[in-house]
């Protein structure tokens, strides 16, 4: 599978949004592969890491986020879930799991219900080491400033508004995957 072919399928004429997506996703892939290089004991699937990192945000075009050029109708929070639906239709269920589980450090059914989030009330938590690494790497980059890498402290601070559980999970991953850069 060539992830770029799927990106071109869903972003055929939108050069600005496609460029933003590719810059962000390539940086997340690079950081994910750095974790794999630094931690061979994790036995991470490098091919899957790269493919899934490139595709983790494929659903952004379906959302309403004008600041990054998204003109869809759905709330931006839904981009992972929507992207997962696309990837399942394309026959990539494992890649879809990364897509739907990378928001924040994952979402629980109770968080979705308690906060009235526009998602199905089920757990969207990264489970496999590859899912966790991609989710972790993603927190160092934003699509609104794709050329700037956040420090660990900046990434951590950006998660504080989502609660202690989210920050705890990020801290745990940082301890497991180590400082990468």
65 pairs with which residues across the strands?
70
Q: Is the pLDDT of residue 2 over 60?
A: yes
On whether the CB atoms of residues 100 and 123 are closer than 8 A, the answer is no
Domains of the chain in start order, with CATH, are 3-173 (1.10.3210)
pLDDT in tens, 108-146: 999 999 999 999 999 999 999 999 999 999 999 999 988
pLDDT in tens, 32-43: 999 999 999 999
pTM: 0.95
On whether the CB atoms of residues 170 and 155 are closer than 8 A, the answer is yes
């Amino acid at each position: 599978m060539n992830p770029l072919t799927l990106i071109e399928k869903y972003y055929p004429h939108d050069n600005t949004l496609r460029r933003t997506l590719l810059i962000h996703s390539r940086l997340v892939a690079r950081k994910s592969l750095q974790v794999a290089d630094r931690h061979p004991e994790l036995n991470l699937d490098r091919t899957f890491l790269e493919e899934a990192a490139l595709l983790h945000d494929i659903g952004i075009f379906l959302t309403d986020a004008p600041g990054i050029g998204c003109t869809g109708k759905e709330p931006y929070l839904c981009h992972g879930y929507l992207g997962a639906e696309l990837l399942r239709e394309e026959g990539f269920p494992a890649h879809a799991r990364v897509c739907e589980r990378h928001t924040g450090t994952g979402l629980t059914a109770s968080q979705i219900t308690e906060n009235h989030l526009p998602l199905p009330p089920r757990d969207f938590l990264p489970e496999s080491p590859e899912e966790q690494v991609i989710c972790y790497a993603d927190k160092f980059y934003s699509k609104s400033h794709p050329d700037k890498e956040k420090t660990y402290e900046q990434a951590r601070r950006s998660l504080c508004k989502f609660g202690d559980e989210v920050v705890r999970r990020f801290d745990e991953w940082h301890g497991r995957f180590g400082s990468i850069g």
